[in-house]
Amino acid sequence: MVPKGADASKDLPPGSWRCAMEQTLLLTRGYEPISVISWQRAIRLHVLDKVEVVETWDQEVRSVCVAFKVPAVVRLVTAFSRHQQKIKFSRQNVLARDRWRCQYCGAKHPARVLTLDHVLPRSRGGKTCWENIVTACSTCNSSKGNRTPEEAGMRPRKHPQRPRWLPLLAVIAARRAIPPVWSTYCHSILGAS
């Protein structure tokens, strides 16, 4: 299946949510955003009656005998337990846990300018793990240097710990802007940032 009308995205502003039209926001049964999936997977889940389509993009996809509007937002029909898997330690997940804010000065920055800081420096036995890593801007990371927070007089705003759940990490991390059709369902994330 090939999206019909895919060229319509040319009219969108550069750097916006153009590539989002190839993706679908997945909601829990209670309309809480949990993931971003491909539009192809969304259609498969819809055909299997595992999701219901809540919103659609303007594009249409066709097979030999069926045509579908490309799903923009789908909702699971059955309950979803989000606490089943541990969150993998990664740079992107640490940035999301700290909401793209320097944990020393509190300033919010784009991911490309943030660094990860070992609260207890590695040279002093600090490990690279959830409980010892925080997001820091390069200025604060340089100021802290190879010292402990107490020595540097710079305490992290939040005690670092392994998150139990990261809300809609893929959407927040990958986009400069959330598509308007998704914003209604992402208000809890947008308001908490």
Label residue 190 by pLDDT band (50, 70, 90). Answer: low
Which pLDDT does position 36 carry in this prediction?
Answer: 82
Contact 83, 161 (CB under 8 A): no
**CB neighbour class for 112 (10 Å; exposed up to 12, middle 13-18, buried from 19):** exposed
**Which domains, ranges and CATH numbers included, belong to the chain?**
3-83+166-192 (no CATH), 91-152 (1.10.30.50)
Q: What pLDDT is attached to residue 23? A: 85
How does DSSP classify residue 146?
T
The values of phi and psi at residue 52, to 5°, are -115, 145
Strands (E), 31-144: 33-38, 51-62, 67-76, 114-118, 133-137
Helix residue ranges per DSSP H, the chain: 39-47, 91-97, 138-144, 149-152, 169-174, 180-183, 187-192
C-alpha 152/C-alpha 51 separation (Å) is: 52
- HSE-CB at 126 with a 13 A cutoff on CA atoms is 18
| pLDDT (tens digit per residue) in 19-58 | 556 889 999 898 888 888 899 999 999 999 999 999 999 9
Q: What is the pLDDT of residue 37?
A: 87
Task: Name the pairing type of β-strands 67-76 and 23-27.
Answer: parallel
Q: What is the pLDDT of residues 61-119, one digit of tens each?
A: 988 998 989 999 999 999 876 655 677 888 888 988 898 899 999 999 988 899 999 99
CB 112 within 8 A of CB 188: no
Comparing CA positions, the residue from 94, 89, 43, 45 lying closest to residue 69 is 43
Which tokens belong to 84? 């089943």
What six digits make up the tokens of 104? 């020393």
pTM: 0.57
State mean pLDDT over 122-139.
95
pLDDT at 5 over 60: no
Instruction: State the average pLDDT over residues 165-170.
Output: 57
